[in-house]
Amino acid sequence: MDTNNLPAVAGDLAGRHIVLGLSGGIACYKSAELCRLLIKQGATVQVVMTEAAEQFITAVTMQALSLRTVYGSQWDAREPNNMPHINLSREADAILIAPCSADFAARLAQGRSDELLSLLCLARPIDQVPLLIAPAMNREMWAHPATQRNLAQLQADGAVLLGVGSGLQACGETGDGRMLEPAQLLDDLIAFFAPKPLAGQHVLVTAGPTYEAIDPVRGITNLSSGKMGFAIARAAVEAGAQVTLVAGPVGLPTPRGVKRVDVKSAQNMLAAVMHAASAATVFIAAAAVADWRPANPAEQKIKKDGSGRPPELQFVENTDILATVAQSARAQSGALFCVGFAAESQNLLANAQAKRARKDVPLLVGNIGPATFGQDDNALLLVDAQGAQELPRASKRSLAQALVAQIAARLHVEPPRSRASNAERAA
């Protein structure tokens, strides 16, 4: 199928051309989904398979998913110059081997090149076409000194090792060595290509609601889903930062590369934040923290007494986490850059400006809470000492990336160029 006239697809990998290499292993079944995800994010994918890989999945399947003819032989006569190892490697923005078996890792480490996939890895312009490795093998093979020695050699030679998962393996054993899931590999590839304006920074993010107990089965919370804070944590990792995410009670998966600390109440969140803030350089308070909590939570469930009147509750004010961190010595000295969030229901600009001044933070991000809680999109208002800037409604993913770029600029970190695509290099 001719892919030259296909419509352009927007996504985090738009304009990227990936050579997806499959070596022999049962994890080849995951490569089909990985191929689909790469294309969904805008990449073009050229599949190259070893003879062993074709024992686990057919070239027909991968051709149907990639919309390109699959290559498997170094003697493929379809190439006018009969040099697929040269042509395929020169066209790529990256080569991703997924799965990479123990045998194939050994071949790469030794520089062997008697079949197409290892040959094009060896023939690639090493300073222009990165090689990413997603190992997949039995737990004993993974732990074997020879395998670890080969993988260390590949890293020393410039390859990027994406790591492995742990769990039940096809052989029936349990342990390390599983290939990462397709969505995890996609996230790793997106992060690899992203600019790194926050390299060297340690970003602390809070996300989600808090839950303030009334009794063992009831409590006070809010409608925050945590999606915005989690998107910020992911964007910060992709921007090169070390990220700690303090999350209230939400059911969201942890972004790749993020250290997550789960908490429940505002007091729990305060303790976790103060512990982590001593090492952070950026604090982004995206959580919707309860302002009040019941003064005396009941030890047992409060029962109806037949009077028709609810129990009388007394409340105490929770410590303001953002204000506490912003007033710390590290924040006041400029060693910790603080970003607050304001979820309002009306008068967004005025309320956000007042909150920024009251809490003494350099940047305050405002949004209309009822219009965004639980949604996948949002609209933000950035307020600082110079004024306000609107970020129009978009996906929380896109807004998180824009916010991280704004923070990086305010930290006076000049973002390096992202890895140029082959098309950009050619231009």
pTM assigned to the model: 0.88
Q: Which residues are annotated as a binding site for CTP?
A: 291, 301, 341, 355, 359
Q: Which residues are annotated as a binding site?
A: 291, 301, 341, 355, 359
- Angstrom distance (rounded) from CA 419 to CA 188: 14
28 is catalytic: no
Q: For residues 23 and 179, is the Cβ–Cβ distance under 8 A?
A: no
pLDDT one digit per residue (tens) for the chain, 427 residues:
333 333 334 689 999 999 999 999 999 999 999 999 999 999 999 999 999 999 999 999 999 999 999 999 998 888 888 898 998 999 999 999 999 999 999 999 999 999 999 999 999 999 999 999 999 999 999 999 999 999 999 999 999 999 999 999 898 999 999 999 999 999 999 999 999 999 999 999 999 999 999 999 999 999 899 999 999 999 999 999 999 999 999 999 999 999 999 999 999 999 999 999 999 999 999 999 999 999 999 999 999 888 888 888 999 999 999 999 999 999 999 999 999 998 877 888 888 899 898 999 999 998 877 777 778 888 899 999 899 999 999 999 999 999 999 999 999 744 455 666 666 656 5
Q: Can you list the domains of the chain with their CATH numbers?
A: 17-193 (3.40.50.1950), 202-292+314-410 (3.40.50.10300)
Beta bridge partners of 390: 381
Q: For residues 270 and 246, is the Cβ–Cβ distance under 8 A?
A: no
Tell me what pLDDT residue 423 has.
65
Tell me what pLDDT residue 373 has.
77
Tell me what pLDDT residue 8 has.
39
In the three-class reduction of DSSP (H, G, I as helix; E, B as strand; rest coil), residue 385 is classed as coil
H helices of 165-260, where?
Answer: 182-193, 227-238
Q: Find the catalytic residue in 28, 100, 121, 171.
A: 171
